[in-house]
Amino acid sequence: MTERIQYNKAFTVGIALNIIYVIVEVFYGLHINSMALIADAGHNFSDVLGLVLAWVSAYLAKTATTKIRTYGFRKSTILAALLLQLKLLGKFQHLYQQQVQL
């Protein structure tokens, strides 16, 4: 039980700090017309979504098994990691297309 409480605290602090960072970057990015700051805010916002996904999957992995779901949701953390990697590959592909004008 204490392990779950530590997870919750770490995820809460991580998500809260990232959201504050996103807000500050968007505010100053708009204030000084900096596309770099706004783009980095978008990057950090996607990090927030990744943290939320990891938090949900960590919670699901700890839920009890049922008669229908005899293995529970223990693989949810692996699926969350797979989703995050696919998101990263999508970003690489988008950057590649931006750089290499075919």
Q: How far is the CB of 44 from Zn ion (least distance, A)?
A: 6
Give the residue with the Cβ less far from Zn ion, 11 or 47.
47
**Rounded-to-10 torsion of CA 62, 63, 68, 70:** 30
Residues interacting with Zn ion, by CB under 5 A?
A: 47
Give the residue with the Cβ less far from Zn ion, 46 or 73.
46
Q: How far is the CB of 38 from Zn ion (least distance, A)?
A: 15
Q: How far is the CB of 40 from Zn ion (least distance, A)?
A: 9
Give the residue with the Cβ less far from Zn ion, 7 or 47.
47
Residue nearest to Zn ion (CB): 47
